[in-house]
Amino acid sequence: MVQAIVVADTNYDEKSNDGRGTDQSKHSSRSYTLEEALQETRIGKCQYILTFLTGISVLGSTIENTNISYILPYAKCDLNLSTEEQGLLSGISYLGIVFTSHAWGFLADTWGRQKVLHASAVGAFICSFLSAFAMDTITLIVLRFLAGAFAAGASSGGYSYISEFHTVATAARSAAFVSIALSAFWVFMSPLAIAIVPMDWSFYIFTLEYKPWRFFLTCTTIINLISAIVFTFMPETPKFLAAVGRKEEAVKVLSRMYAINTGEPKEKYPVKSIENVTIGNNLSDAKGICDFLSLVIEQTKPVLQKPLFTNTWKLCYIILVMFSIGHGTFMWFPDFLMQLQRYEGIPKTLCEIVGPKAVVSSSAYV
């Protein structure tokens, strides 16, 4: 009888183990939505690190669009800039953004968010670094236009990149934290400009006289250099990987996030398969220039049709007003202050003080 009980218990244990194994197998084989898969990573320090690094990328983009304002009062003396050339130089980076933002957004949806952020940082660094050695006005304007054009990639791709590592509940918060980089701009740039630009030294590199304002431009490229190095090793977003059919790679990225957030081995990540995700067409689908243009049109159509069209033009109008008033004033503000400091005589309106004048020597600014 004892033997019969032992046999019965053994059979019961085997059935129980088989049952648990079947349940675990079903759990591991079930397909998760991307939202569920992100929730399983346990939002934590991995997302915090990604938010910080994406903030650096956005900061680099902001710097490239505004650093020229700090050096204009000095550069205009060395390059004999007219008021019109100063205005063009101040706004040329924004012109680069206008011409390329749509292209960067398209590439982010078809080529990849990580690749866009990396290419943007590399291009912005190279063009901005070369602009510090520009020997004439035309070269400086062209290089600043290209720096702005590349920097637009970080603006258009950065927020999408970080949001796709978060669940719906935390995505907006992560984008808000990345926006703190815009405030960090003032902490970084103003002290740097105060420390470097007013210096009184120069030396020659062949026929180029290298002055503090050129050194300031060189220093401001460091952020994009850091971003270019960092995003060489950063992962692509799980959403994009899943959308282009690379779901196994998406699961690997998610499992690494889980391991960093929890301290557990990535093998313990319960998600082994995720459902299909759609964000648009893949750039690899384009076999020629006609296919490429068709892809661009297909990606653009939704924002020009109902129900998105109304929100599209409202958003465009709001951004136009913000950039026209806020950034337009900021670009000229350093020059306004310099002219107000030099002004002597009966008080006048700001427009009378900063009106067209002959270019003065650089010693007046020191």
pLDDT digits (tens, 9 = 90+) for 47-66: 999 999 999 999 998 888 88
Residue with tokens 């062949």: 206
Predicted TM-score of the model (pTM): 0.78
283: Cα separation from own chain's centroid: 20
The answer to whether residue 253 sits within a structural domain is yes
CA distance 49 to 55: 10
DSSP letter for each residue of 202-261: -EEETTEEE-HHHHHHHHHTHHHHHHHHHTTSPPPPHHHHHHTT-HHHHHHHHHHHHHHH
The answer to whether residue 353 sits within a structural domain is no
CATH number at residue 83: 1.20.1250.20
Q: For residue 45, what are the domain limits?
A: 34-337
Ranges of the chain whose pLDDT falls below 70: 1-29, 279-289, 291-292, 326-335, 338, 347-348, 350, 353-366
The closest of 366, 343, 364, 341 to 353, measured between CA atoms, is 343
pLDDT digits (tens, 9 = 90+) for 63-73: 888 888 888 88
pLDDT digits (tens, 9 = 90+) for 144-193: 999 999 999 998 789 999 999 999 999 989 988 998 877 777 778 888 98
The answer to whether residue 74 sits within a structural domain is yes
CA distance 318 to 305: 19
The answer to whether residue 15 sits within a structural domain is no
Q: Which two tokens stand for residue 211?
A: 């002055």
The answer to whether residue 8 sits within a structural domain is no
Contact 102, 300 (CB under 8 A): yes
The answer to whether residue 106 sits within a structural domain is yes
- Number of domains, the chain: 1
